[in-house]
């Protein structure tokens, strides 16, 4: 005759799993914190809480220009940041969730906000070129980089002036 096995101890297994998950979460938090501190560009961007979207975007472009991403051969990261600066500016200025939208969806949404076709074409060209660098592994030249920076500054300035004109018309109208 064999002895009867004691009941399965579910709670000891549950405690082991919970302990493992807690340790894994702590390790993930430590890795995330270390990685976040390593990127000096993100640290510079964080100090801009009391600025307008226009001031933040222009400061971020200056930070991106001063960064060594381009000279280190990190063109993809450079263009990711450049398009993110523009998308975050659009999100802050027009309350459009631009970072979560595809380029075409964003352009359709911007058409309802702004009637300046020339400006929308510039936005389209810049974002599509950024997409090519990010996804199709296009290797842009220094001239193309300079044109992209100039175009992004111009886009942001024109959106800003458009927004100011619209607010002035509301105040005076």
Instruction: Per-residue pLDDT tens, the chain, 173 aa: give them.
Output: 677 776 666 567 777 888 899 999 999 988 888 776 665 555 555 555 678 889 999 999 999 888 888 888 888 899 999 999 999 999 888 888 888 889 889 989 888 877 788 989 999 999 999 999 888 888 888 899 889 999 999 999 998 888 888 888 877 76
Contact 22, 114 (CB under 8 A): no
- CA–CA separation, 154 and 44 (whole Å): 22
Domain ranges of the chain: 10-39, 53-172
User: b vs e for 56-94, b when ≥16 Cβ sit within 10 Å of the residue's Cβ?
Assistant: bbbbbbebbeebebbeeeebbbbbebbbebbbbbbbbbb
- CA–CA separation, 60 and 81 (whole Å): 9
């Amino acid at each position: 005759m064999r002895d009867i096995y004691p009941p399965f101890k579910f709670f000891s297994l549950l405690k082991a799993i919970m302990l493992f998950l807690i340790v894994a979460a702590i390790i993930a938090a430590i890795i995330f914190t270390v990685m976040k501190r390593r990127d000096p560009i993100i640290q510079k961007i964080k100090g801009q809480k009391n600025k307008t979207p226009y001031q933040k975007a222009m400061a971020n472009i200056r930070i991106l220009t001063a960064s060594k991403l381009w000279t280190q051969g990190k063109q993809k990261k450079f263009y990711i940041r450049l398009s993110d600066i523009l998308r975050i500016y659009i999100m802050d200025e027009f309350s459009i969730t631009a970072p979560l939208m595809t380029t075409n969806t964003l352009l359709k949404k911007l058409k309802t906000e702004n009637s300046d076709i020339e400006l929308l074409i510039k936005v389209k060209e810049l974002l599509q070129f950024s997409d090519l660098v990010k996804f199709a592994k296009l290797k842009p030249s220094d001239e193309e980089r300079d044109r992209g920076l100039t175009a992004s500054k111009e886009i942001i300035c024109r959106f800003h002036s458009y927004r100011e004109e619209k607010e002035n018309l509301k105040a005076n109208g």
